[in-house]
Structure 1
Amino acid sequence: MKKFVALTTMGALLAGTALADPVEVKIGYALAENSHYGAGSKKWIEVTEGLVGDRFDFVEFPASALGGEREVIEGLQLGTVEATIVSSGVLSNFVPEVGVFDIPFLFRDFEHARSVLDGPIGQEMLAKFEDQGLIALAWGEQGFRHITNNRAPINAPADLAGLKLRTMENPVHILAFQTLGAAPTPMAWPEVVSALEQGTIDGQENPLSVIVSSKLNEVQKNLTLTGHVYAPNVFFVSQIFWEGLTDEEKEAFRKGAVEGGLAMRAFVDNAEATGAKAMEDAGMAVNTLSVEQKEVIKEALAPAYADYAETFGAELIQQISDAK
């Protein structure tokens, strides 16, 4: 009888384990599902599920449904949110060193930026987030940032004078635009479109992937292809959630995030190839800075560059700049 009871109990436990509800994984991100964020999130889910089956119930919260990016990261630290994809805008509030990647005109092109992020410098930077209760699994991408506004095309630093320009909550970006004479206005993304509609701000700066997916042509007249800053983003999970995973599950989430990052890059490549034409067809006036015009802006940024060298170290900046 004792053996029967023991076997029955064990069977019940095994059945309970097999039938246990999957663990919910909330993934929050700033833009709509049809954006590069959505592409990255869906690939992350697809690959992870392919490796571990139905152990997790992934629920996407696009379009800032869980709040602004800083709020979502704080949710990860508290364990109330399991996962997110976040732009570089708020990351320096948690790991100040990551702000080095936001220095204007640091990266020559996409190949250069991706090589640095995928290499030792980028991977060492991801590891620093663990001290903040965050597990940074992989780099994603938004693209090179460009300026839109309702005042006039941007061709020289003088065109930025007094321009009320929405920036991310990023001290590197803010210093750059202050140095160029603009009036940078840090603002969480959910507030931006309404602020543009109401004229609270004159413009904003973002990659084409964001400009197109957010239909900024509906609230902005001018698009200047400045390519002033490369914008990565990061796939995060909560350290609290992470510590409850098996090694197999951790590896699945990591592989899924890497593939999600590649999906974002593919989306961005397409946006870069087609986005400016799409915005022009939608009625925006589009102009592109020449190499010479960019050099003039870089010269005007000299005081900011001196500050960046002091903050991040001239050696690290040079190491990134020289990377092949």
Structure 2
Amino acid sequence: MKTLKSYAVAALSTFALAAPMAVLAAPTTIKVAYENHPGEPADLVMNYWADLLKERSNGEILLELYPSSQLGSKSDVMDQALMGMNVVTISDVGFMADYEPDLAALYGPFLTENTEKLFELYDSPWFAEKNKSLREQGVHLVITNYNYGDRHIIAKKPIRTPEDLAGMKIRVPNNVIQIKTFEAMGATPTPMPLADVYPALTQGVIDGAENPLSVLYGQKLHEPAKYLSLVNYLTTAAVWVGGEAFFSTLPEEQLALIHETGREAGLYSQQLAKESDAKVLELMRAEGVEVIEPDREVFKAKALKVYEQFPEWSPNLYQTLQDQLK
């Protein structure tokens, strides 16, 4: 009897110790890094996603947000992700071209103005094959339906024609397709992290920058640069990306929930994009910015030759994408 009692006490003690440990099991945390400042649409969407994921997972999956380049540049964060760290960042398929060259074409100039058709491409079997290849190379796309907005140019002098870009240093992200696009349109593309753009403008290192309206305003680039040219050379679908080395360790139900809520966050970004542009234009005009509506066709005529400068792409890729967009 004493032996049985001893076993019973031991079993109860073990259960009492195990139960609190189960309750106190640490949640899965994911660091979300981005260059945008608090209050910009990207930050609002990430807060929305964090709240949604916390609620749906009952607190088992938490997003830690790091705006304003707190974890370093985009390339720094991508390096961390590929090393297996629990981090995701905003990017675009132009940066994925090192792994899948054809993806750069989705970031080509004047590909389409129809955002809905563009997102249909990201849901297509063609893109699914590219996504599978990325995973095999260690890249995990978490959100693929994020609307980053239409990209325009803000500068220290008016830009009405491609000729006005001659000799102008325009900040672009450090991906080949956007660099070649601005070369084709007549500018001197100057890659640099977004966090460096404001001081570069104020110090005269660059003459202008490109980005969606909400980013140009959120970064306060309209303070040193007072001319906004609505070129809309690129309708932007961004991706939020991490490393397969981390995401492959998660239980399937957690991974599914991350993707499910991420897609809902992407839909929220599309809603925000529709609402924000008119408001930002009004604010910029009120703060002394001259808004220029140039003839986009003359810029397009210059930029389209970019699609002939990538011999590594699949044959007739531009036409293939155009057929799918139709």
TM-score normalised by structure 1 residue count: 0.91
Which residue number in structure 2 is paired with residue 35 of structure 1?
Answer: 40
Contact 2:233/2:300 (8 A) holds in 1: no
Q: Does residue 153 of structure 2 align to residue 147 of structure 1?
A: yes
- Are 1:246 and 2:251 counterparts? yes
> Counterpart of 1:112?
117
Q: Structure 1 residue 259: deviation in Å? A: 1.1
1:98-120 CA-to-partner distances (Å, cap 9, x unmatched) read 21111110013222222222333
Alignment match, 1:208:
213
Task: Please tell me whether residue 70 in structure 1 is matched to residue 72 in structure 2.
Answer: no
Q: Secondary structure at the match of 2:249?
A: coil
For residue 252 of structure 2, what is the amino acid of its counterpart? D
Question: Given the superposition, is the C-alpha separation of residues 138 and 121 from structure 1 closer, same or farther in structure 2, using an over 3 Å criterion?
Answer: farther
Change (3 A) 1:230 1:195: same
**Structure 2: tracts of 5 or more residues without a match:** 1-5
The Cα shift of 1:7 comes to 4.0
Superposed, which structure 2 residues align to 1:22-171 within 5 Å? 22-88=27-93, 90-139=95-144, 140-151=146-157, 153-171=158-176
The percentage of aligned residue pairs carrying the same residue is 28
The answer on whether the counterparts of 1:107 and 1:113 sit within 8 Å (CA) in structure 2 is yes
| Separation in structure 2 between the aligned mates of residue 216 and residue 124 of structure 1, nearest angstrom | 38
The CA deviation string for residues 6-43 of structure 1, in whole angstroms up to 9 with x for no partner, is 34224422321211233332111110121121122112
For 1:288, the aligned partner's letter is E
Q: How far, CA to CA, are the matches of 1:108 and 1:319 in structure 2?
A: 17
Going from structure 1 to structure 2, the CA distance change for 1:244 and 1:177 (only over 3 Å counts) comes to same
**Partner amino acid, structure 2, of 1:305:** Y
Question: Does 2:260 correspond to 1:270?
Answer: no
- Is residue 320 of structure 1 aligned with residue 321 of structure 2? yes
TM-score scaled by length of structure 2? 0.90
Distance 1:40 1:88 in 2: 19
Structure 1 residues 193 and 21, CA gap change in structure 2 (3 angstroms) = same
Q: Provide the aligned C-alpha RMSD in A.
A: 2.0
TM-aligned CA deviation for residue 96 of structure 1: 3.0
Per the alignment, do residues 246 and 302 of structure 1 end up closer, same or farther by CA in structure 2, a change over 3 Å counting?
A: closer
Q: Deviations over 1:247-292 (max 9, x none)?
A: 2111110111101111211221112232222211211111112xxx
